[in-house]
Amino acid sequence: MAATCVIGLQWGDEAKGKIVDILTERHDIVVRYQGGANAGHTVVYGGQTFKLSLVPSGIFRPQVQCVIAGGVVLNPASLIGEIEGLKARGVKVGENLLISDRAHVIFPWHFEEDRLLDVQCTSGEAIGTTLRGIGPCYRDKVGRSHAIRLGDLYRDNFRDRIAQITAAKNQIFSSFKASDNIKLLDAAKIHAEYAGFAEKLKSHVADTTAFLLDSVESGKRLLFEGAQGSLLDIDHGTFPFVTSSNSSGVGVSSGSGVPGRHITKVVGIVKAYTTRVGGGPFPTEQDNATGQHIRDRGNEYGTVTKRPRRCGWFDAVAVRYTARLGGVDVLAVMLLDVLSQLPEIEVCTAYELDGRRIAHFPSHVDDLRRVRPIYETLPGWQTEISDLRRIADLPANARKYLDRLSQLVGRPVEVVSVGPDREQTMFV
């Protein structure tokens, strides 16, 4: 009985895909359990780059079983495109991919709602979602009456469900202004399209909750691949500037059905600095030449939406919080090479709020907006490190930087990454 979790400890894009791909070698099953095609996970090996949104990053080892569990919201068109793209590049995707019949399905109305409601529901600043229908699909899941799960696509009443829901959604859409450019939904067209998707995905669909419980109880080694980052968690993140699922460690059990008692190791993934895409407070943001330098060196543009990512210094207050929240055992520090040319590097060690120094991460977004980060300055190393393969070979200042991050977060560093490729990875 053993399960490992890979969890992002910042606002996403911490390079979870790279670590999952590497850790897959030591596991039997890799599981995506929340989020959807808002995720963009990158795996680089053998001179090839793969971008994955729904398919687990374990897919490149054909002997390993990949599972998309019930907590994921599924865009069938996007998943089919991804599977076909992988197959065209010689990656095996067959019985090695199971998809939960409990996963909720994203429909065209969810995309419309994502587009229409993001700008309207938060005062002033938009969440800046990925516009992949994620929030609206989770909203319908919780609301129940307008929800369709993957297993429902194979039932006799599927056509009727589509007719009922499109009628209800069209009634709501009719109340929007002409300038919102709403196209009313065509039930017959949507049914035909999704019946086609159902046929294509049929061989992968299974009760993954039962499969995972059987597997973990029979001693299989499970690897859980988190999507997004802990600060985007719907309950514990920077609400409302979050995603609509539990993207911190707390989501593993609800999303997969596997009890937390089976989890034996949690790997917290962090960048050596911080990035964020979309709206919301970001205390250590460097909206200046330093931020641009990091963006250029780290190629910090969204994997899914291509938006420039906001960049800033490592925030140890935030990561200490998310490491505790996720029950993190060890840290993987990624993209350390991006900081190589800086003469000095800042790390946020505490916040100041209303003239008082605080060490905790505020629960209310308005307080987080008002904090002033307190920085400690560390010397840079100003030599390239991408070709190094052992921690001992890193410049002394790079090792000091890692030690300080570890000390501030309160967790040991087990993995250090100095480039996108599988090979550009060091283990302590």
CB atoms within 10 A of CB 66: 25
Largest separation between any pair of C-alpha atoms in the chain: 66
Q: Does 337 bind ligand IMO (CB under 6 A)?
A: no
Choose from ligand GDP, ligand IMO, Mg ion, none: what does 130 bind? Cβ within 5-8 Å by kind.
Answer: ligand IMO
Please list, in sequence order, all residues whose beta carbon lies within 8 angstroms of the beta carbon of residue 175, skipping any fewer than 6 positions away.
none
R_g of the chain computed on alpha carbons: 22
* Shortest Å distance, C-beta 172 to Mg ion: 32
Are residues 298 and 291 in contact, defined by beta-carbon separation less than 8 angstroms? no
Residues engaged in binding ligand GDP (CB under 6 A): 8, 12-18, 39-42, 44, 298, 303, 334-335, 337-338, 417-420
Q: What are phi and psi of 103, to 5 degrees?
A: -65, 135
Q: How far is CA 417 from the centre of its chain?
A: 18
Output the six-digit token pair for 271. Answer: 């960048």
Q: Does 278 bind ligand IMO (CB under 6 A)?
A: yes
Short-list 109, 73, 106, 110, CA closest to 187: 109
Q: What are phi and psi of 156, to 5 degrees?
A: -60, -30
Choose from ligand IMO, ligand GDP, Mg ion, none: what does 334 bind? Cβ within 5-8 Å by kind.
Answer: ligand GDP
Choose from ligand GDP, ligand IMO, Mg ion, none: what does 337 bind? Cβ within 5-8 Å by kind.
Answer: ligand GDP
Is the Cβ of residue 7 or residue 385 nearer to ligand IMO in the bound state? 7
Q: How far apart are CA 135 and CA 94, in angstroms?
A: 29
- DSSP H or E stretch at residue 146: none
Short-list 347, 341, 323, CA closest to 403: 347
Is the Cβ of residue 39 or residue 116 nearer to Mg ion in the bound state? 39
Choose from ligand GDP, Mg ion, ligand IMO, none: what does 56 bind? Cβ within 5-8 Å by kind.
Answer: none
Choose, by CB under 6 A, the member of 3, 4, 7, 13 that binds ligand IMO. Answer: 13
Site for ligand IMO in 124-143 (CB under 6 A): 127-130, 132, 134-135
Is the Cβ of residue 56 or residue 257 nearer to ligand IMO in the bound state? 56
Q: Is 236 a catalytic residue?
A: no
Q: What are phi and psi of 269, to 5 degrees?
A: -100, 130
Where does this chain touch ligand IMO (CB under 6 A) — which range of 10-18, 182-190, 382-390, 406-414? 10-18
Choose, by CB under 5 A, the member of 8, 40, 135, 229 that binds Mg ion. Answer: 40
Q: Is 13 a catalytic residue?
A: yes
Describe the crossing of helices 108-121 and 134-143 by its angle, rounded to 10 degrees: 100
Site for ligand IMO in 217-246 (CB under 6 A): 227-229, 232, 243-244
Query: Which residues are known catalytic residues?
Result: 13, 41
Binding residues vs ligand IMO (CB under 6 A) = 8, 11-13, 38-41, 127-130, 132, 134-135, 227-229, 232, 243-244, 277-278, 303
User: Interface residues with Mg ion (CB under 5 A)?
Assistant: 13, 40, 303
